[in-house]
Amino acid sequence: MYDLIIVGGGPAGVSAGIYAARKKLKFLLVTESFGGQSAVASEIQNWVGVKSISGFELAKKMEDHLKVQDGVEIEEGSMADKAEKIKGGFKLVLKNGKEFETRAILAASGGRRRRLGAPGEKEFENKGVAYCSTCDAPLFAKKTVAVVGGGNAALGAVGDLLKYAAKVYLIIRGEQIKGDPVLFEEIKKDARVEILMNSEITEIFGQDLVGGLKYLDKKENKKGELKLEGIFVEIGSVPNSEFLGNLAKKNEYNEVVVDHKTQRTSCPGIWAAGDVTDLPFRQNMISAGDAIKAVLDIASSR
């Protein structure tokens, strides 16, 4: 039986692993892959000590940093499917069917992309509707595209697309940008960018591939239509909290509710950190810090 199983290989999971190794806990880290959601970011400028780095490089560095620690056990390539209570701890079942027993669990399982939920989104997924701008931006060279969302991921996607596209619409549901002003000012300078605030996409249409979208400007209560070929959806994440079932309390958004001093959940023996929790800000360094708090609490409460 392990002292601890860390679920996740993003900034939270990897930070937890490094600290757990230094505390000499007998632990296992389970992850599909390393780096978390920002592994696909073309550039990260706010990881302290590193002025600029690609998401892929940072993911590699995290993985390397974890793997040089003594006593690290890693189960890579599958995700947690289910946690169950057993005598003295928990049984964790992975999607690939493997099972492990542990005294404690740290859920650092992060989140996955939120879908728009607009008619046509599913039908045109990968047929113009895209979720990875670093992957797919080059396929929209000289084309008109839209980015949906107002956070840093959306602003980054606009930047990725400006390297190729003829025109980029930025469609934001609210009346404010949530991302960093430094990024927003940078993209606003480009004449090819057009910003639609207070606007919601009501339909995505086309033949075989995306041909355009319909939207509603909620402030003016005005309907509009854009002819375009690509729609990049960057509207945040939903938590990967399903594997915990009803073991730990979750809020209305399915985020695991934690005590923010210790990262303890409502279930003794289960801690959670990072984007899977009810934290107000989604940031690599915050997730890393929260996960460290969890491990220090786990180590001291043994």
Partner 1 sequence: MHAEKKVKIYSTPTCFYCIKAKEFFAKHKIKYEEVNVASNMKEREEMVKKSHQLGVPVIEVGHEIIVGFDRVALEHALGIKE
- Bridge partners (DSSP) listed for residue 206: 210
Indicate the residue among 89 and 120 with the shorter CB distance to partner 1: 120
C-alpha pair distances (Å), 34 with each of 22, 120, 222, 249? 20, 32, 44, 27
CB of 271 to partner 1, least distance (A): 28
Residue type, 241: S
CB of 66 to partner 1, least distance (A): 17
Residue type, 274: G
**With contact defined as beta carbons under 8 Å apart, do 132 and 212 qualify?**
no
User: Does 227 interact with partner 1 (rule: CB under 8 A)?
Assistant: no
- CA dihedral (175, 181, 187, 189) positive or negative: positive
- When binding is defined by CB under 8 A, the residue of 127, 173, 178, 218 that contacts partner 1 is 127
Considering only 110-118, 120-128, 184-192, 259-267, which stretch makes contact with partner 1 by CB under 8 A? 120-128
Q: Alpha helix (H) ranges present in the chain?
A: 11-22, 55-67, 133-136, 152-162, 181-188, 284-300
Instruction: Give SS3 for 111.
Output: strand
- When binding is defined by CB under 8 A, the residue of 5, 25, 30, 130 that contacts partner 1 is 130
- When binding is defined by CB under 8 A, the residue of 1, 50, 86, 209 that contacts partner 1 is 209
User: Does 135 interact with partner 1 (rule: CB under 8 A)?
Assistant: yes
CA distance 264 to 102: 16
DSSP class per residue in 39-86: GG-S-B--BTTBS-B-HHHHHHHHHHHHHTSTT-EEEES--EEEEEEE
User: Does 145 interact with partner 1 (rule: CB under 8 A)?
Assistant: no
Structure token pair of residue 238: 């939903």
User: Does 9 interact with partner 1 (rule: CB under 8 A)?
Assistant: no
Question: Site map for partner 1, 240-269, x if CB under 8 A?
Answer: ------------------------------
CB of 127 to partner 1, least distance (A): 5
User: Does 55 interact with partner 1 (rule: CB under 8 A)?
Assistant: yes
**With contact defined as beta carbons under 8 Å apart, do 282 and 237 qualify?**
yes
Indicate the residue among 125 and 278 with the shorter CB distance to partner 1: 125
Indicate the residue among 22 and 95 with the shorter CB distance to partner 1: 95
CA distance 29 to 66: 10
Indicate the residue among 11 and 89 with the shorter CB distance to partner 1: 11
C-alpha pair distances (Å), 276 with each of 143, 242, 254? 36, 10, 8
Count of chain residues binding partner 1 (CB under 8 A): 27
Indicate the residue among 39 and 258 with the shorter CB distance to partner 1: 39
- When binding is defined by CB under 8 A, the residue of 3, 136, 255, 275 that contacts partner 1 is 136
- When binding is defined by CB under 8 A, the residue of 88, 138, 181, 224 that contacts partner 1 is 138
Considering only 19-27, 124-132, 249-257, 270-278, which stretch makes contact with partner 1 by CB under 8 A? 124-132
Q: Which residue ranges make up the site for partner 1 (CB under 8 A)?
A: 33, 39-40, 42, 54-56, 59, 77, 96, 125-128, 130, 132, 134-139, 141, 160, 208-209, 230
